């Protein structure tokens, strides 16, 4: 442990304030509205990382020569304390953005017409369509690699971006890889219909069969993608959605849900072994530091840079729905994560054998856009948009399906947004949901005879 006079008291106080302010704002909102929403999830996520995890990292690296650079960034003579300071600013403007989003919505809710809610038969048809689309598209995608089984041999190479090693394989249809994520949404839909158990809906046996098929294929897709976070999020979403359905969006689910979360977090280091990534570190603290310290490096590099991107990343965000060869080669767009990786690692992923990508977190993304004003703007917009999405989900989907989709979006948007704010990553992890919600919106507006 370092001597007391080297302790960064500013960092400790500010991180503690992030935690306290986040929790207080969340409790006040829940007390007033009698239930939590996506904004509360966002604030608690900021409290957990920008408050708890940053403090954990700070104390874990004290006296550890392995993390000299990280120690320098968080030293009292450096500007590491600005990270929690900017987080406090973000919390206020997230709340402010959600407040503006709420204006006029309550009157809409009071007069909500139940005919605008997507019916269970329509949900089942859409779920089946998405499942068929997922299986067929992914089959076409893996054909050049030798099929579903042989593709698993290329999992690490494709994920790492080492395409020189598969140069003889036709990757012209690689954009279909993302279509496999439709299986995730179909699983959520079928599980939501299954737990609904409506007496007016008599196809529970066939729904169960669709649920098993979509679940198994989702596991295959997630494993073939080679990522730990995706499969963890998939299982947590199913569990969280079921708890919301059973107990509502209240404090009652907290004690039910906290134990599974603790177990998953504690066993996170061992998920590496599933993909053959054997851990050399035996200490949990070392694992946490190595896995979650990248936002601190990203923030440090963002502060040092004099070049702002002035929200250009938001302008081109819709283009990330297109295949990569279009937005990368035709429009020559480089992602914020590519810039961040080059600043921290020295080279982009796939260059000179590098398999590393350094994501960009929410605070650092705002700083790169336009300094502290970028943090303010991104926080306000995020609070506004997330609250509008919250209203849309609650008002347009039947019980069961709503809770499952709500839980999935809670993790893919407000939770992951704290650590993964690259617009490309936001689009990628919500690709199936964006397309699915577009289809659902059409169903909402269609005449009842077509539903």
Give the pair of three-digit tokens for residue 322.
Answer: 């297109």
Q: What is the pLDDT of residue 354?
A: 66
Quote the CA–CA distance of 409 and 393 in Å, as a whole number.
10
pLDDT for the residue 395: 87
DSSP 232-298: HHHHHHHHHHHHHHHH-SSGGGHHHHHHHHHHHHHTGGGGGGGGT---S---HHHHHHHHH-HHHHH
Which residue is associated with the tokens 């007033």? 32
Q: What would the two tokens of residue 417 be?
A: 């947004």
113 — pLDDT class (breaks 50, 70, 90)? very low
What tokens does 411 get?
Answer: 């993790």
Q: How confident is the model at residue 77 (pLDDT cuts 50, 70, 90)?
A: confident
* Residue of higher predicted confidence among 259 and 324: 324
Confidence of residue 106 (pLDDT cuts 50, 70, 90): low
288-324: string of b/e by CB count within 10 Å (b at 16+)? bbeebbbbbbbbbbbbeeeeebebebeeeeebbeebe
Average pLDDT, the chain: 84
Q: What is the mean pLDDT of the segment spanning 231-244? A: 90
The rounded distance, in Å, linking the Cα atoms of 334 and 354 is 17
Tell me the average pLDDT across 287-294: 89
The 3-state secondary structure of the chain, one letter per residue: CCCHHHCCHHHHHHHHHHHHHHHHHHHHHHHHHCCCCHHHHHHHHHHHHHHHHHHHHHHHCCCCHHHHHHHHHCCCCCCCCHHHHHHHHHHHHHHHHHHHHHCCHHHHHHCCCHHHCCCHHHHHHHHHHHHHHHHHHHHHHHHHHCCHHHHHHHHHHHHHCCHHHHCCCCCCCHHHHHHHHHHHHHHHHHHHHHHHCCCCCCCHHHHHHHHHHHHHHHHHHHHHHCCHHHHHHHHHHHHHHHHHHHHCCCHHHHHHHHHHHHHHHHCHHHHHHHHCCCCCCCCHHHHHHHHHCHHHHHHHHHHHCCCCCCCHHHHCHHHHHCCHHHHHHHCCCCCHHHHHHHHHHCCCCCHHHCCCCCCCCHHHHHHHHHHHHHHHHHHHHHHHHHHHHHHHHHHHCCCCHHHHHHHHHHHHHHHHHCCCCCHHHHHHHCHHHHHHHHHHHHHHHCCHHHC
Spatial CB neighbours of 166, under 8 Å, sequence gap ≥ 6:
145, 154, 157, 158
Q: What is the pLDDT of residue 184?
A: 96
Whether residue 59 is predicted with pLDDT greater than 70 in this model: the reply is yes
Given pLDDT bands bounded at 50, 70 and 90, which one contains residue 96? very high
Give percent of the chain with pLDDT exceeding 90: 51
Model confidence at 5, pLDDT cuts 50, 70, 90, reads: very low
Distance between CA atoms of residues 126 and 120, nearest Å: 10
pLDDT score for 432 = 93
What percentage of the chain has pLDDT greater than the value 70? 82
Per-residue pLDDT for 128 more than 80? yes
Residue-level pLDDT at 168: 67
Q: What burial class does residue 17 get, using C-beta atoms within 10 Å of its C-beta: 0-12 exposed, 13-18 middle, 19+ buried?
A: middle
Contact 279, 287 (CB under 8 A): yes
Measured CA to CA, the distance from residue 409 to residue 184 in angstroms comes to 12
Owner of token pair 């303010």: 376
- Rounded mean pLDDT of 113-136? 80
pLDDT band at 272 (very low <50, low <70, confident <90, very high): low
| pLDDT of amino acid 119 | 76
- 1 pLDDT exceeds 80? no
- pLDDT tens digit string along 148-190? 988 888 777 766 655 555 556 777 788 899 999 999 999 999 9
The model's pTM: 0.88
Residue 44: pLDDT above 90? Answer: yes
Q: Assess contact for 151 and 145: CB atoms under 8 A.
A: yes
Arithmetic mean of pLDDT, 345-357: 72
pLDDT above 50 for 426: yes
The more confidently predicted of residues 49 and 270 is: 49
**pLDDT at residue 104 greater than cutoff 70:** no
Select the more confidently predicted residue: 102 or 274: 102
- What is the pLDDT, as a whole number, of residue 115? 44
Lowest mean pLDDT among 27-31, 345-349, 407-411: 345-349
Note whether 289 and 61 are within 8 A (CB).
Answer: yes
Tell which phi-psi region holds residue 397, choosing left (phi > 0), alpha (psi between -120 and 50) or beta. Answer: beta
Where does the pLDDT of residue 313 fall: very low under 50, low under 70, confident under 90, or very high at 90 and above?
Answer: very high
pLDDT digits over 339-349, tens only?
Answer: 999 988 887 77
pLDDT class for 324, splitting at 50, 70, 90?
A: confident
Q: Round the CA-based radius of gyration of the chain to a whole number and report it.
A: 22
Lowest mean pLDDT, pick from 4-13, 42-51, 55-64, 317-326: 4-13
Label residue 253 by pLDDT band (50, 70, 90).
confident
Q: CB neighbours (10 Å) of residue 285?
A: 14
Is 450 a residue whose pLDDT tops 50?
no
Please state the rounded mean pLDDT for residues 359-368. Answer: 96
pLDDT for the residue 355: 65
Q: Are 126 and 443 in contact (CB under 8 A)?
A: yes
Confidence (pLDDT) at 420: 95
């Amino acid at each position: 442990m370092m001597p007391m006079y080297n302790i960064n008291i500013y960092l400790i106080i500010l991180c503690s304030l992030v935690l306290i302010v986040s929790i207080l704002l969340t409790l006040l909102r829940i007390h007033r509205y009698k239930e939590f929403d996506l904004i509360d999830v966002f604030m608690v996520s900021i409290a957990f990382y920008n408050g708890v995890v940053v403090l954990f990292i700070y104390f874990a690296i004290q006296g550890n020569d392995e993390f000299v650079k990280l120690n320098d960034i968080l030293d009292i003579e450096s500007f590491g304390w600005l990270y929690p300071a900017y987080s406090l600013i973000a919390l206020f403007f997230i709340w402010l953005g959600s407040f503006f989003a709420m204006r006029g919505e309550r009157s809409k809710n009071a007069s909500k017409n139940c005919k605008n809610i997507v019916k269970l038969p329509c949900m089942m048809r859409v779920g089946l369509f998405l499942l068929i689309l997922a299986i067929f598209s992914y089959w076409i995608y893996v054909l050049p690699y030798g099929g579903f089984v042989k593709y698993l041999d290329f999992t690490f190479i494709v994920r790492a971006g080492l395409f020189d090693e598969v140069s003889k394989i036709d990757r012209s249809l690689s954009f279909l890889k993302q279509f496999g994520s439709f299986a995730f949404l179909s699983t959520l839909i079928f599980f939501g219909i299954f737990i609904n158990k409506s007496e007016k809906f008599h196809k529970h046996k066939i729904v169960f069969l669709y649920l098993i098929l979509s679940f198994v294929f989702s596991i295959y897709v997630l494993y073939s993608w080679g990522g730990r976070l995706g499969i963890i999020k998939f299982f947590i979403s199913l569990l969280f959605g079921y708890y919301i359905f059973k107990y509502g969006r209240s404090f009652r689910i907290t004690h039910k849900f906290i134990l599974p979360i603790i177990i998953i977090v504690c066993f996170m280091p061992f998920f590496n072994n599933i993909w053959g990534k054997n851990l050399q570190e035996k200490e949990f603290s070392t694992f946490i530091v190595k896995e979650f310290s990248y936002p601190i490096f990203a923030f440090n590099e963002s502060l040092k840079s004099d070049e702002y991107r002035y929200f250009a990343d938001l302008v081109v965000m819709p283009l990330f729905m297109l295949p990569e060869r279009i937005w990368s080669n035709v429009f020559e767009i480089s992602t914020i994560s590519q810039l961040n990786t080059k600043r921290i690692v020295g080279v982009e992923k796939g260059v000179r054998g590098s398999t590393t990508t350094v994501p960009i977190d929410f605070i650092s993304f705002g700083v790169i856009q336009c300094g502290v004003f970028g943090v303010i703007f991104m926080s306000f917009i995020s609070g506004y948009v997330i609250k509008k999405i919250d209203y849309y989900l609650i008002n347009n989907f039947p019980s069961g399906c709503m809770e499952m989709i709500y839980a999935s979006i809670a993790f893919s948007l407000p939770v992951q947004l704290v650590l993964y704010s690259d617009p490309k990553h936001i689009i990628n992890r919500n690709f199936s949901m964006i397309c699915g919600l577009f289809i659902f919106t059409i169903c909402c507006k269609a005449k009842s005879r077509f539903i």
